[in-house]
Structure 1
Amino acid sequence: MKYIDLHVHSSASDGTLSPAKVVRLASEKQLAAIALTDHDTLAGIPEANKESDILKEEGTFIQIIPGTEISVSYRKKDIHILGLFVDTNSGQLYDSLEQARIRREERNHKMTANLRTAGIDITVDKLKEAEGDAVLTRAHFAKYMVEHGYVKTNQDAFTKYLHDDSPYYVPREYLSPEEAISLIHSAGGLAVIAHPLLYKFTLPEVEAMVAYLKDYGLDGVETIYSANTGFDEGHIRRIANKYDLAMTGGSDFHGKNKPDIQIGTGRGNLKVPYEILEKLRARL
């Protein structure tokens, strides 16, 4: 049986491997396809496609599904909508993601200024020196603090400085879920709610969220996921079936930023069958 991974990050956002290295690693793991879904950007997809072409010349075939993971605000929480099969030449989607990048940049300048008042020598320029063109997230802030000895672990950085209620934290300006779904559709893609159980809603609240998003055109729910335990997958399958939504699956691979999660296999037992991809293509 062939397997896939439809939720993967690279250094184009907050992963630690370049898009090319992500594709090469996925090929080594014998995955048939991956979706590159970096946060609020399409920047890594050309490099991923190029590496896929190189592998094809070497006799190995792996499909690259162009995607992105868009942060939106729902009930005052940051939730994520995956866009799969998006047209990377879509001006409307590109422009919106670029505006999100600008707002994120402004927010990062405010957060680094706040952290400097706590005695942490950090600036956006210093983060960029280390991370290049990556879309800076709190994961990069945490990595910087660890590398410069301000905290021992990434979790320490979040606990002490980067959590949502921290005095140093600056809230983001988000798109609405409706706007994100519309943008994904305008680019010819499918809109999928990512890891619906991670938002700390009760199951009835998760179902209410899915029903709300379905009314605005949601196409699918990420059902097979690295953090699932017990009956989690079964609960999401029930909700997906009830609302006639496609099911997707992915590891949420980030490289060393999430060292316990491996591409294709998550925490060791993740398996996303190729038929998931075939059913998604049928939805298109």
Structure 2
Amino acid sequence: MKYIDLHVHSNVSDGTLTPKEVVEKAVKMNLAAFALTDHDTVMRISEALNAVKEYQNNGIDLELIPGVEISVAYKSKDIHMLGLFLDYQNETLISELQAVVNDRENRNIKMIANLQNAGIDITLEKLVESEGDSIITRAHFAKYLLEHSYVKSREEAFKKYLGEDGPYYVPRKFITPEKGIELIKAAGGIPVLAHPLLYKLPPKELDSLISRLKNAGLVGIETIYSANVDFDESYVRKLANKYDLLITGGSDFHGANKPLIEMGIGKGNLRIPYSILEKLKEYLTNK
């Protein structure tokens, strides 16, 4: 049996491994394929592809699916849309994602000012210095606060300083779900609703949201996921069947930023069969 992982992050967004190191991890975990889905960016997918080619040239069978995880607006919060099998060189996609990144950077500057007013010694330069080319997210803020002893854990950082309900948080401007789906499809990709149960929506509201997204061109829904418990997977499978959506699966691997989640196996019992990838490929062939 061959296994895959269609939701993986590198340090280009809020993971801790470089794209090349993510490829090395995939080989170590004996995966047949994985998708690199960094937040709001397709930067350095080529780096991962080059690393995969080196392994392939040495007889190791590994596939990389170029992807992205786009934050889109839903009421007063954001939801996440995965794009799989993207043309990561698509100019429109790159331009629109850069606009999203620019807005994130403006938000970061405002959050830094709020934290400075609270007596925290933090600047954008210090964050960038420690994170290199990574797109700075709240995960990087949490890392900084922890490393500089303002908090004792990442959880405390979010609860005390970075949470959406806190006094230092600055909301972002998000594109609409319809726009996110449009961008993914225009780049030749498959739009997938990521981890639908993490949004904690009442069942009727979640059903209504999926109906709306389906009408906008949604193709898949992330069904096999690290955070699933009890009957979560079967519940999402029913939604997939109801709206004729393809199922996908992913660990949401972030390296040390989510230490309990391992690539390919999640919290230990995650298994995503290669047959799921075959159905996605079949969709692309027949669309």
Report the TM-score when normalising by structure 1: 0.99
Partner SS, residue 269 of structure 2: coil
Question: Could you list the runs of 5+ residues in structure 1 that have no partner in the other structure?
Answer: none
Aligned to 2:222: 222
Instruction: Provide the rounded CA distance (Å) in 2 between the counterparts of 1:265 and 1:206.
Output: 27
Shift of residue 124 of structure 1?
A: 1.1
Q: What's the secondary structure of 2:38's corresponding residue?
A: coil
2:190 pairs with 1:190 = yes
Q: For 2:119 and 2:222, locate their aligned partners in 1 and report how far apart those are by CA, in whole Å.
A: 40
Structure 2: how far apart are the matches of 1:122 and 1:68?
29
5+ residue gaps, structure 2 = none
Residues 23-34 of structure 1: pairs in structure 2 closer than 5 A? 23-34=23-34
Look up the match of 2:10: 10
Q: Give deviations 1:190-240, integer Å, cap 9, x for gaps.
A: 000000000011222221111110010000000000000000000000000
RMSD of aligned alpha carbons = 0.7
The one-letter code sitting in structure 1 at the alignment partner of 2:260 is D
C-alpha distance in structure 2 between counterparts of 1:204 and 1:2, whole Å: 36
Distance in 2 of aligned mates of 1:33 and 1:234: 24
1:50-69 equivalence runs, <5 A: 50-69=50-69
**1:166 CA displacement:** 1.1
Q: Tell me how far 1:76 sits from its aligned partner.
A: 1.6
Q: Distance in 1 between matches of 2:78 and 2:273?
A: 29
Structure 1 residue 57, shift from structure 2 partner:
2.2
56-65 or 31-40: bigger deviation = 56-65
Q: CA deviation at 1:11?
A: 0.4
What is the rounded CA distance, in whole Å, between the counterparts of 1:64 and 1:170 in structure 2?
Answer: 35
Cross-structure match for 1:114: 114
Number of corresponding residues: 284
Letter in 1 for 2:49: N
Alpha-carbon shift at residue 54 of structure 1 (Å): 1.2
- In structure 2, distance between residues paired with 1:28 and 1:102: 35
Alpha-carbon shift at residue 265 of structure 1 (Å): 0.2
In structure 1, distance between residues paired with 2:215 and 2:197: 20
How far the C-alpha of 1:282 sits from its partner, in A, is: 1.1
Q: Does 1:91 align with 2:91?
A: yes
Instruction: Report runs of 4+ in structure 1 exceeding 2 Å deviation.
Output: none
Residues 8-46 of structure 1 show CA distances to partners (whole Å, capped at 9, x for unaligned) of 000010000000000111111110000000000001311
Partner of 2:72: 72
Task: Tell me, in whole angstroms, the C-alpha distance in 1 between the residues paired with 2:249 and 2:207.
Answer: 18
For residue 280 of structure 1, give the secondary structure of its aligned residue in structure 2. Answer: helix
**Counterpart amino acid of residue 59 in structure 1:** G
CA distance in 1 between counterparts of 2:43 and 2:61 reads 22
Q: For residues 118-159 of structure 1, give each alpha carbon's deviation from its aligned partner in whole angstroms, at most 9, with x where no partner exists.
A: 111111111111110111110000000000110010000000
Q: Deviations over 1:59-100 (max 9, x none)?
A: 212100000000001122210000000101111100000111
Is the 1:10–1:44 contact (alpha carbons within 8 Å) kept by the matching residues of 2?
A: no
| Residue aligning to 1:39 | 39
Q: TM-score, normalised by structure 2?
A: 0.98
- C-alpha separation between the residues in 2 aligned to 1:253 and 1:229? 17
Report what 2:128 is aligned to.
128
Tell me the distance in 2 between the aligned counterparts of 1:207 and 1:236: 10
Q: Distance in 1 between matches of 2:136 and 2:94?
A: 18
CA distance in 2, matches of 1:145, 1:62: 37
Q: Which residues in structure 2 correspond to 1:199-218 (within 5 Å)?
A: 199-218=199-218
Task: Confirm or deny: 8 A CA contact 1:38 1:44 kept in the other structure.
Answer: no
- Distance in 1 between the 2:121 and 2:93 partners? 35
Amino acid at match of 1:111: M
SS of the residue 1:272 aligns to: coil
SS where residue 282 of structure 1 aligns?
Answer: helix
SS of 1:192's equivalent in the other structure is strand
Corresponding residue number in structure 2 for 1:160: 160
The residue aligned with 1:237 is: 237
CA distance in 1, matches of 2:204, 2:51: 43
